[in-house]
Structure 1
Amino acid sequence: MTANAYSRKKQPELVRRALLDQTAALAVEGGPAAITIQAVADRAGVTKGGLLHHFASKQALVEAVFADLLEKLDQEIGLYMAEDGEMRGRFTRAYIRASFADRKLGSSSPWVALSVSMISEPGLRRLWSQWLERKLAAHRPTDDGPMFEIARFAADGVWLADLLQQDREPFRDVSHIERGLLALASEASPGA
Structure 2
Amino acid sequence: MKAAINRPKEPETVKRSVVEAASKIIADKGLQGLTLDNVAQLAGVSKGGLQYHFSSKTALINGLFNDLMQRFSDDMADLMRLDTEPYGRATRAYLRACTAGSRDSEHVTYRALVVAILADRGLRERWNHFVNNDVPQEDLTGEEQDRMIMCRMAVDGLWLSDICGYQPLETERRERIINKLNAMTLKEKGV
Greater helix share, structure number: 1
Identity value in percent: 32
Q: Which residue of 1 aligns with 2:158?
A: 158
Q: Which residue of 2 aligns with 1:81?
A: 80
Q: State the secondary structure of the residue aligned to 1:145.
A: helix
Partners of 2:14 and 2:49 lie apart in 1 by 9
Over 3 Å counting, the alpha-carbon distance change for 1:142 and 1:94 in structure 2 is farther
For structure 1, the 5+ residue unaligned runs are none
Over 3 Å counting, the alpha-carbon distance change for 1:142 and 1:87 in structure 2 is farther
Q: Which residue of 2 aligns with 1:15?
A: 14
**TM-score (normalizing by structure 2):** 0.84
Shift of 1:154: 0.3
Partners of 1:41 and 1:107 lie apart in 2 by 19
Q: State the secondary structure of the residue aligned to 1:4.
A: coil
* Number of residue pairs matched by the alignment: 186
Shift of 1:49: 2.1
1:106-136 deviation digits (Å, cap 9, x = unpaired): 4543323322322212233233212112235
**TM-score (normalizing by structure 1):** 0.84
The amino acid that maps onto 2:179 is R
Q: Which residue of 2 aligns with 1:30?
A: 29
Q: Would you say 1:61 and 2:60 are equivalent positions? A: yes
The amino acid that maps onto 1:56 is S
Q: Which residue of 2 aligns with 1:133?
A: 132
Q: Which residue of 1 aligns with 2:170?
A: 172
Shift of 1:164: 3.0
1:84-118 deviation digits (Å, cap 9, x = unpaired): 1111211111101111114x534543323322322
Shift of 1:177: 0.9
Q: Which residue of 2 aligns with 1:181?
A: 181
Partners of 2:122 and 2:98 lie apart in 1 by 22
Partners of 1:64 and 1:142 lie apart in 2 by 34
Q: Which residue of 1 aligns with 2:50?
A: 51
Partners of 2:25 and 2:44 lie apart in 1 by 14
Partners of 1:155 and 1:172 lie apart in 2 by 16
